[in-house]
Amino acid sequence: MPKTNAELAAAFEQTADLLELQQANPFRVRAYRNAARLVGELKLDLIAQVGQGKALPRLPGIGADLAGKIEEFARSGHLALLDRLRRQIPAGVAEMLRLPGLGPKRVRALYEELHVTSLTQLARAARDGRIRALPGFGARTEARILEAIGTHGHKAQRLKLVNAAQYAAGLVEYLRQGPKVSEVAAAGSLRRSRETVGDLDLLACAPEGAAVCEHLLAYPEVAEVRAAGNTRATVVLESGLQVDLRVVPEPSFGAALLYFTGSKAHNSRLRTLAIQRGMKLNEYGLFEGRKPVAAATEEEIYRRLGLPWIPPELREDRGEIEAALKNRLPVLIERADLVGDLHAHTDWSDGTASIEAMARAAKAHGLAYLAISDHSRRLTVAHGLDPTRLAKQCAEVERVDGKLDGIALLTGIEVDVLDDGALDLPDSALAPLDVVIAAVHSKFDLSRAAQTRRILAALDHPKVKILAHPVGRLIDRREPYDVDMLAVIRKCKARDVALELNAHPERLDLTDLACRMAKDEGARVVVNSDAHGGHEFDNLDFGIGQARRGWLEKADVINARPLREVRAWLAGKETP
């Protein structure tokens, strides 16, 4: 039986894909997509809620029908609608949806026009040059499809960070109830806040390892046991996720946590450093000869190696050892440092909540200010705002701002960047706004030179203060567009424009390496939720994890500043 929101979200997303393939009502398709997004990010365990006989909470965009689907899935592990859709559509057609760059509309065109019903037939059509003849495809798209087919199936399954965290939370809580367990921690790439996770590495502290391993084997979601012993166990969950457990005694917990957190490259550097100091480091501790000199905590191991404790997010062998040796590690930003959020959506475009509801949710998440930045008119699928509706929304933002205490609202827009770098709305519509965010939502396949020129031109607009999700990727769904990132970062620095680190778990854009590049170039970053509902302010946690991987400190992040400084920056009067 499925036990996580992640599987429920996947079922809703597949339902939306197959409905769109059948050209179902767009509003119905959108309802399932919004439900998938909401459920996939929700901290509340909906499956457990139903299992405990509790009523589902009121969730934005979840009416009686979708609530019934949640209860159905929680009780049976299936959606009857999804099962029926799978029977109606050839399995090979559904599999085509998993190729990057092939959404439901393109898959439907391939199915209807070329009668392609499998990846084999799709590859043959691409090699024969038949795909390029279809409207909206072309030779470059055809080549990318062929390339995607070649790598499909060879790519290791990895979960988005948010989904891995959901699985880990349930497992950690379950293992804490094991016999004589005093501590449980998630290690590996999850602890390092990598944007995707291949498998879960869990560490438990207990005197009887075999009993704890047996406890893991009894976890209701275990589908396969690959190994089980006195100190370790490996299982595969029904979702296909592999879980590796290691049980250690309390005196060795720090050494094991350090070892299993990784990365391999970071650990290798530490072992070399230990050898240079006449010691040996392994998963059991730091030793001088056979004498253990540090093992219980990570801090004491680092200290005996002559280093300060290095945060897990930095452990990638990207200069953190050298910085630590020189006592120059960054003081990484923390979630508590964020004062506001400058990118959020409401039901005026494609959000699920009102302006007031979003403001109250932001306040509940500890924020002191929030910019309302719905989409502009070109993004018709998101019901974007034209100048008239934008002016009306600004009046509503100001009205709501006047009645709320403890949080300030700013007016704004996420305005589309057109093909030539111009903005989607006239200057007269943008002039009164507090925040203008430039965003690329189309023509992702432009050449590197053309895409770079386009973005640089948009950054020259005097009202633009933020570049949204700078490379436009959707993790495992859409590759980043090709752009000269260094040129963009340097332009942002010169024009005093902040690069957005979009905290949505499907984006996490900027990447960690781009964050580091921005820091090195002296450009500012803003960590935004891109929230489309009140619960999505939780995503700021993932954004902060990405920022920490990029070595960002509080001073590097615009919205870690108080509102008065942010207003001055937005007005071009002061750079934070």
Q: Which pLDDT belongs to residue 576?
A: 53
Burial of 72 (0-12, 13-18, 19+ CB in 10 A): middle
**Strand residues in 229-324 grouped as ranges (E):** 232-237, 242-248, 280-282, 285-288, 291-294
SS3 346: coil
DSSP state of 416: E
CATH assignment of 159-248, among 3.30.460.10, 3.40.50.720, 3.30.360.10, 3.40.50.1820? 3.30.460.10
> Which of these ranges, 104-118, 288-302, 450-464, has the smallest mean pLDDT?
104-118
Backbone angles phi, psi at 473, to 5 degrees: -80, 155
Instruction: In whole angstroms, give the CA distance from residue 341 to residue 410.
Output: 10
Q: Which pLDDT belongs to residue 1?
A: 47
CATH annotation of 335-570: 3.20.20.140
> What top-level class would CATH report for the domain 253-325?
alpha beta
Domain ranges of the chain: 5-151, 159-248, 253-325, 335-570
DSSP-assigned beta bridge partners for residue 437:
414, 466
Name the pTM for this structure. Answer: 0.84
Instruction: In whole angstroms, give the CA distance from residue 206 to residue 212.
Output: 8
The pLDDT of 47-55, averaged and rounded, is 84
> Which of these ranges, 38-42, 279-283, 344-348, 572-576, has the smallest mean pLDDT?
572-576
Residue 146's pLDDT band, with cuts at 50, 70 and 90, is: confident
In this structure, are residues 432 and 411 in contact, taking their beta carbons and an 8 Å threshold?
yes
Q: Report the mean per-residue pLDDT for the chain.
A: 92
CATH annotation of 5-151: 1.10.150.110
Please say if the pLDDT value at position 575 is more than 70. no
Instruction: In whole angstroms, give the CA distance from residue 443 to residue 421.
Output: 12
Half-sphere exposure of 181 (CA within 13 A, CB side): 26
Please say if the pLDDT value at position 470 is more than 70. yes
Same fold, 159-248 and 335-570: no
Instruction: In whole angstroms, give the CA distance from residue 284 to residue 59.
Output: 47
Please say if the pLDDT value at position 153 is more than 70. no
Q: Which pLDDT belongs to residue 136?
A: 84
**Rounded (to 5) percent helix, strand, coil in the chain:** 45, 15, 35
Instruction: In whole angstroms, give the CA distance from residue 7 to residue 166.
Output: 10
The residue ranking higher by pLDDT, 300 or 127, is: 300
Q: Which pLDDT belongs to residue 50?
A: 86
Half-sphere exposure of 145 (CA within 13 A, CB side): 27
Give the angle subtended at the CA of 82 by the CAs of 79 and 87, to the nearest 5°.
130
Q: Which pLDDT belongs to residue 78?
A: 85
DSSP-assigned beta bridge partners for residue 423:
417
Q: Which pLDDT belongs to residue 359?
A: 98
SS3 423: strand
Instruction: In whole angstroms, give the CA distance from residue 500 to residue 158.
Output: 25
In this structure, are residues 167 and 219 in contact, taking their beta carbons and an 8 Å threshold?
no
Please say if the pLDDT value at position 488 is more than 70. yes
Please say if the pLDDT value at position 268 is more than 70. yes
The pLDDT of 86-100, averaged and rounded, is 81
Please say if the pLDDT value at position 390 is more than 60. yes
